[in-house]
Amino acid sequence: MNFYQPGRLSNFVMSENQKATSKFRLVTSALISFEGILVLSGGAFLIVESFISKAKNPDALLVEILFAILAGLGLLFAALGIKRKKRYGYSPALLANFIAFAVSFYLRDADRILLANLLALISTVAVVSIIFLSRPTSKN
């Protein structure tokens, strides 16, 4: 059976809703990737900082570095899943952004208002985007 029929483009045409969802999925994936790169950058900063200054507790620093590396790679993997329309990307990204939203409250208590508001905004946008993408859709 020949699925491709010359002159018949309806097999390859996306509806406007599908195009918008596809673009939204790419933007959400880029946002989660950006978060993953930020977390990896934080881990790189901790590595460089450990060589520049004397660490008071090297064991805790090592755990923070490992956590930053694993969390950053996890976010990049989740972003790849979201981009590929796989459901395994949603839960880790949601969990990471809920944690980031909670961290923004600690930053606010530490008088880092601008950073706290930025982190809260990014995490809220990411959570809403992931929830929007994970909702069931009808197949018309």
Q: Judge residue 54's burial from the number of C-beta atoms within 10 Å of its C-beta, 0-12 exposed, 13-18 middle, 19 or more buried.
A: exposed
- The Cα 76–Cα 35 span in angstroms is 8
What single letter denotes the amino acid at residue 31? L
Tokens standing for residue 36:
């993953």
How much is the pLDDT for 88? 86
Rounded Cα gap, residues 91 and 95, in angstroms: 6
In tens, the pLDDT along 54-96 reads: 878 888 889 999 999 999 999 999 999 999 988 888 999 999 9
Domain residues of the chain, as ranges? 23-134
Q: Is the pLDDT of residue 140 over 80?
A: no
